[in-house]
Structure 1
Amino acid sequence: MSKENIQRMRQASIGEPAWQLLGIRLEAIEDGFARVNLTVRPDFLNFVGTVHGGIIATLADSAFGYALNSLYFPTVASQFNIHFLNPANLGDELEAECRVVKAGKRTVMAEITVSTTSGKIIAKATGTGIPLERQQE
């Protein structure tokens, strides 16, 4: 089933409205893993000149959603927690990588790292999802 889910997620990434608005790109997806990228634009900056936390969280959440749904479709988030560790700046190329660490019958837990492509860690996140189809098993 995961091959079908991975193909479904690749197709979904092409037309996802939020991704088109922000310029998010799906770089890699496989069972329980996803990597997405975006380039920081001037309209992503906050009042102190660094990337708004909501942009960083959206990138992390995007990798999270795609990694979970590569395993079980549909899966929805039940919890998401992010820690901002370093600022991101105009022109940075950001990537978020998500790995599922536990895929149970009722919940799926994952860890996400947002970093610059040069390796500076921007944020760490964790999330838990609920596979809707598996709830009926």
Structure 2
Amino acid sequence: MTPQARATKAAEAMLAADIASRSLGMQITQIAPGAATLTMRVSDKMLNGHGICHGGYIFTLADSAFAFACNSYNRLTLAQQNQITYISPGKDGEMLTATASQTALSGRSGVYDVMVTGEDGRTVATMRGLSRTIKGQLFIEDGELA
């Protein structure tokens, strides 16, 4: 199996079980080994008391992109730590895009940077995620036993 095919199949398996991301309307627009891009449209149910996208929803989009990127090797991988910085607000009705990319991978630990942008290209938030790989896979690969 090629690395790209593995990443694609891992994303499909993860998305099928990811009720949270699906219920928020997130879409995977790009997947590759160590990288993922997801989109989410801001709905009126996501607005805070200031009439802008609640930071928790922006974090959830960034965290989901991070999760798909770090699980793209078909090794179960979890968040160990995340830190987000909000730069500008997400607007009602706007399509937000989160692009996650691996910056380091050593043993069971990984570092991923996520950029969340608005439709006009402005930076909405940046997030750094630290991952930890555990035992298991998202799917059984050809030639492996369950």
Report the TM-score when normalising by structure 1.
0.91
Amino acid at match of 1:97: T
Give the unaligned 5+ runs of structure 1. Answer: none
- Counterpart of 1:88 in structure 2 is 90
Alpha-carbon distance in 2 for matches of 1:56, 1:28: 18
Percent pairwise identity: 28
Alpha-carbon distance in 2 for matches of 1:61, 1:92: 19
Deviation for aligned residue 1:106: 2.6
Give the unaligned 5+ runs of structure 2. Answer: 137-146
Report the TM-score when normalising by structure 2.
0.85
Question: Are 1:67 and 2:93 matched, yes or no?
Answer: no
**Secondary structure at the counterpart of residue 28 of structure 1:** strand
Per-residue displacement from partner, 1:22-56 (whole Å, max 9, x unpaired)? 11111110011000001110000000100000000
Q: Which has the higher helix share?
A: 1
Alpha-carbon distance in 2 for matches of 1:16, 1:95: 18
Supply the RMSD in Å over aligned alpha carbons. 1.6
Q: Does the 8 Å CA contact 1:60/1:112 hold for their aligned counterparts?
A: yes
Alpha-carbon distance in 1 for matches of 2:39, 2:58: 11
- Counterpart of 2:135 in structure 1 is 133
Q: Does the 8 Å CA contact 2:14/2:68 hold for their aligned counterparts?
A: no
Per-residue displacement from partner, 1:69-125 (whole Å, max 9, x unpaired)? 002510111000000000111011100000000011130000000001320110001
- The structure whose Rg is larger is 2
Alpha-carbon distance in 2 for matches of 1:128, 1:122: 20
Q: Does the 8 Å CA contact 1:13/1:25 hold for their aligned counterparts?
A: no
- Counterpart of 1:19 in structure 2 is 21
Deviation for aligned residue 1:9: 1.3
